[in-house]
Amino acid sequence: MTTPLREGLEHLTLLDLSDRELLLILRDVADGAGYALANDIATRLDLMGENPGRSVAVRLSWLVRYGAVEREHLRDAAGNIRYHRSGKVMTAQGWKLTELGVVIATGKLSKTQEKALEGMNDGSLLMATRWMAGRIASSNGTVGKLLDRQYRNGVGR
């Protein structure tokens, strides 16, 4: 049995757990095909509350909108994707990281980059923050939104 990341979370807001942390947990509990169930993620987090799996599914649904996660599609016996009468794809219970999700979850700074950031004085740090804000604003909707959410998570804590 694995140890939960944080003991007894009652909520799953952005301030409780960053998108990156949630993506890493999804990756850790995923099966061989890369899919994880919301209830398995909730168990790994030791998430409390009335319906912990639903709390996870809500967060993952936002990450689907941002392009970091995808839903598992229901398939027929021949392996073809099934559709609702409306034409919408039928989904199963699994959630999987997209290519962007893997990049967001596993991104790292090199030692040189870390050293450069740590060595900045207050004025340089302010300018670096200004540059980052511009980068967030000019990024495509998906990446910009995820960058903004990571910043809010860090500042909010």
How would you write the pLDDT of the chain (157 residues) with one tens digit per residue?
444 455 567 778 888 899 999 999 999 999 999 999 999 999 999 988 888 999 999 999 999 999 999 998 888 888 888 889 998 888 788 999 999 999 999 999 999 999 999 999 999 999 998 998 888 888 777 788 888 888 888 887 6
Could you name the CATH architecture of 1-107?
Orthogonal Bundle (1.10)
pLDDT for residue 127: 94
Quick check: 5 and 44 in contact, CB under 8 A? yes
Listed in order, the ranges of the chain carrying CATH 1.10.10.10 are 1-107
pLDDT for residue 151: 83
Q: Whole-structure pTM over 0.75, yes or no?
A: yes
Name the pairing type of β-strands 91-97 and 69-73. Answer: antiparallel
- Residue bearing tokens 């998570």: 153
Helix, coil or strand: residue 69: strand
Question: Other C-beta atoms within 10 Å of 101: how many?
Answer: 25
Q: DSSP string covering 92-119, please? A: EEEEEE-HHHHHHHH----HHHHHHHHT
pLDDT for residue 8: 63
